[in-house]
Structure 1
Amino acid sequence: MTPVPAPFAESADSRSWPESRPGAWHALASLEQRTRFASLFGNRRDAVLLYHSVGGVPGIDYRWDVPVHVFRDQIRRIAARYELVDLETLATTETSTKRVAITFDDGFRNVYEHALPVLSEFDAPATLFVNSAFVDDENLDRLRERHDLGAAAHDVSLTTDQLQEIAAQDRYTIGNHTFSHANLAELPDRGAVAAEILDAKEWLEDRLDVAVDCFSYPYGGFDERAAEVVAETHEIAVTSEPSLVGPSPNPLAIPRLDACLPASTVAFEVTDVAARLRSLVRRVG
């Protein structure tokens, strides 16, 4: 990662992040946090943040983990400027106020242990997308392989008791992330795709006594077969497309911004200015 100029350096954390940004991008992020210049150019498009792990996975150094102090700083900065809403509200209603929804993929146990207490501090809702095959650390070898975890990783997934406790709280929503985190676009036929999607939905609904109407595509990968099954069985689906949410969005293809970044960078990337800059870089690149 290119060093950030000292006046704009991220003071909260100096770790290396899995998806680096140029130093100039971090500098802009820090400048925006100090001056709020984004508000001068319009800042109304909603955003959905994507998290995986918060606070570390026992036994390994997981690259897609966000330290607790960084996570708290991210939520603090965003809550100070925008309305934190649940995913369903953001996907199905419109307002002139900029909103941010928080989502977690994969069902890491540390989300229960570390992230939810932080969200409680800010009265922030969230959606947790869970792979039912891995609850209670079942199928641990496959779990480690699918999430690129080391062999020493343990206490990785949410337990059934934790899920039931989370599902009982109005602030949180349990979503479907398939049975075993398979890349749906690589499965051999529609039957295999449907089994991954429907087996997980049935498992979650039966054990948690909730309706599971939200879906997240593993690896962001899907094709026409997967999109059809999801549309037939769920009301909302999120992708991994790194974009803000446009006006009148398709509720079955909601984009998300990966939040495994420094706090000031995440707070910048949810702004409309950052979205325009990303679009410009893609066009000229």
Structure 2
Amino acid sequence: MSYFIQNLRRFAGELLEDPVGGPARVAAALKVKWKTGLEQALGSSGMGRRLAARYRGRGVVLMFHEIHDDVEGNLRMGCSPEQLRMVLAALRAESRDIVTPDEAVKRLADPQAGDFAVLTFDDGYRDNRTMALPILEEFSAPMTMFVPTGMVTREVYAWWLGLRALFQRGDEVEIEAMERRFTLADAPSRNAALRQIGLWIGTDRARAEALNPTFARHAISIPALVDKVAMDEREIRSFADHPLVTIGGHTTTHTFLSGLDDAAAYRDINDNKLYLENLLDRPVRHFAYPYGTEGACGKREAEYVKAAGFETGFTTRSGHLFPAHLSTPCLMPREDAGFAHMSNSQLANRLSGARRALVTKFGDPVAGLR
């Protein structure tokens, strides 16, 4: 009940603070909460598994980012070690083998092969080694880490890390580019503000870069933040030598590929592959789009991923893997399992296929082919 009252107060504050834009934001928030409630109901009742029978594929690719103990202190960017362990236990209970992307492709082509899951971790965070790897070792579970060049060289414009640092500093923040002032009274208001800024940015690189003056005014150094959380070249080389680890590509600049012209988009993909292969002295065969929604990547980007020599490309579009995906291996879906805090019901829906059914309103089970 207290959580319900908190939300009512926050929505009322939104309306008073911004009578023009507030109603739209409140409506969007209520829509999200309605969808979350429906997802919880389906997962907890078992109805989701029955409704999603046609959405359950041979495999499922799960996406994570940061793994850390202080989930709330880090504004729910990433998830806890306990959540990762929960996911691994659920996969074991479902008798899904945890495999590499190479093995996943082989199994999709083999009707007799068992069901499987692939664990992917984006961006090259240091805690993937210190926090996630020991848990993966407990389960003998392989993982693939998709690494952008700029995270390793400290040249990436990690605006999301800048926002987190900004929101951790005070109880009120002005985002000049949005002409908005956010009151950050508690964790829900901080998380809501982050969502609003993310929706405002969308897939617009210019809007993300428009946050730079705000970061500068608060003396926030993006390279310093990246250096604090991301592996460097020495760490990446050492990590890649672990028998459970596969390193994949994730572009050079971690930008919205759809916003680049043809030459720049291909270069951002290809140069990352060359950089990682030179650093690791081995082939890098798999790729993930840094922003994998339909507005951020599509057929053009998939062609560039293929032309660069990658064998697979993973989006962030909800769905399981089916043999049909072998015809478009550079547009394979992933399910987000690394957001905080994921309930047992939400995890069940991702593993059953019910999440895809909800997202598409019971549309095409096979994601990413168009």
Task: Report TM bin, short chain.
Answer: 0.7 to 0.9
Shift of 1:64: 2.8
Q: Which runs of structure 1 show a deviation greater than 3 angstroms over 4 or more consecutive aligned residues?
A: 35-45, 56-60, 144-149, 151-154, 272-283
Higher helix share: 2
| Structure 1 stretch displaced more, 126-135 or 49-58 | 49-58
Name the SS of the counterpart of 1:49 in structure 2: strand
Shift of 1:177: 0.3
Decide which structure has the larger Cα Rg and report it.
2
Shift of 1:226: 2.5
| Residue aligning to 2:265 | 193
| Residue segments in structure 1 that go unaligned for 5+ positions in a row | 5-18
1:111-167, Cα deviation, whole Å (9 max, x unpaired): 11111111111111111100112216x236x23458854248461111222211221
- Is the aligned partner of 1:54 residue 2:134? no
| Structure 1 stretch displaced more, 206-215 or 265-274 | 265-274
| Residue aligning to 2:18 | none
| Residue segments in structure 2 that go unaligned for 5+ positions in a row | 5-31, 166-219, 365-370
Separation of aligned partners in 2, 1:25 and 1:77: 18
TM-score (norm 2): 0.63
Could you say if the C-alpha distance between residues 93 and 281 of structure 1 is closer, same or farther in structure 2, counting changes exceeding 3 Å? closer
* Pairs within 5 Å for 1:260-271: 260=339, 261-264=341-344, 265-271=346-352
* Pairs within 5 Å for 1:113-262: 113-135=130-152, 138-139=154-155, 142-144=157-159, 148-150=163-165, 151=220, 153=225, 155-187=228-260, 189-220=261-292, 221-233=296-308, 234-249=310-325, 250-259=328-337, 260=339, 261-262=341-342
**1:30 corresponds to which of 29, 44, 51:** 44
Separation of aligned partners in 2, 1:131 and 1:148: 19
Letter in 2 for 1:195: R
Name the SS of the counterpart of 2:229 in structure 1: coil
Contact 1:74 1:266 in 2 (8 A): yes
Separation of aligned partners in 1, 2:358 and 2:160: 36
Could you say if the C-alpha distance between residues 117 and 203 of structure 1 is closer, same or farther in structure 2, counting changes exceeding 3 Å? same
- Is the aligned partner of 1:99 residue 2:174? no
Contact 1:107 1:157 in 2 (8 A): yes
| Residue aligning to 1:67 | 80
Shift of 1:86: 1.1
| Structure 1 stretch displaced more, 38-47 or 151-160 | 38-47
**1:280 corresponds to which of 361, 367, 370:** 361
Separation of aligned partners in 1, 2:356 and 2:78: 24
Letter in 2 for 1:239: T
RMSD, aligned α-carbons: 3.2
Could you say if the C-alpha distance between residues 185 and 92 of structure 1 is closer, same or farther in structure 2, counting changes exceeding 3 Å? farther
Shift of 1:44: 4.7
- Residue-pair matches, total: 263
% identical equivalent positions: 26
